[in-house]
Amino acid sequence: MDRNKKGDIWVSVVLYVLISLVILSSVYMIVEPKINEAQDRAVVEQTIILINDIDDAIKTASQATGTVVMRQIKISKGDLFIYNATFGTNGTIVYMLNNTNLKYSQQGTPLTSGNIHVMTTTNKQSEDKYDVILTLNLQNKKVLNENNQNPWQLSASPLPYKLFIKSEANNIFKFYTA
């Protein structure tokens, strides 16, 4: 009889552990998307500040031809694209955060945050995910970047980039990293 009680105790312990694991897994499955959404919201808001800082650096560099301004920029998630001016168009800075749970703005309706336009669209691969796109049009400014890549892409990295912005003649700005 004593052996049966010990066996019953072990069966109870195993059942309690399994039930606890199921409960914890269920809670995690419910909470994880909200945590990811909050993290992505913080990333988007930090990136808006980052793009405004780049815009301010361009304004600082524009005060005199040959001026070089350096900014350290951290991209923890998503991609930053710098589009060259082509065929008389202005340069453009675009940030894309793809495949996120975050619906930052009304879907398909542009939102403005300072000079930055924010657009949320449905992700093409997954209907329950979104893409958040931030765009800064560098009005009356032409942008060149290293190696003349168009667009020039800066991807998420654990280390910050050192972004240099050099003012050249006629509202032309050269972007490069070191």
Domain that holds residue 57: 2-177
Distance CA 67, CA 61 (A): 5
Q: Which residues does 47 contact at the CB level (< 8 Å), separation at least 6?
A: 75, 78, 80, 95, 97, 134
pTM for the model stands at 0.82
pLDDT above 60 (res 1):
no
- Which pLDDT tens digit goes with each residue over 88-134? 567 899 999 999 989 998 888 889 988 999 999 998 888 889 999 99
Looking at residue 87, what is its pLDDT? 58
Over residues 36-58, the mean pLDDT reads: 94
* Token pair listed for 13: 């312990």
Lowest model confidence (mean pLDDT) among 61-65, 110-114, 139-143: 139-143
Looking at residue 164, what is its pLDDT? 94
Over residues 65-72, the mean pLDDT reads: 94
Q: How sure is the predictor about 139, in pLDDT bands with cuts at 50, 70 and 90?
A: confident
In terms of residues, how long is the chain? 178
Distance CA 171, CA 166 (A): 10
Q: How many domains does the chain have?
A: 1
DSSP string for residues in 50-107: HHHHHHHHHHHHTTSTT-EEEEEE---SSEEEEEPP-TTPPEEEEEEEEEES---SSB
Over residues 156-161, the mean pLDDT reads: 94
Half-sphere exposure of 142 (CA within 13 A, CB side): 12
Quote the mean pLDDT of the chain.
Answer: 89
Looking at residue 3, what is its pLDDT? 65
Half-sphere exposure of 7 (CA within 13 A, CB side): 4
* Token pair listed for 90: 């202005």
Distance CA 56, CA 24 (A): 47
Distance CA 20, CA 32 (A): 18
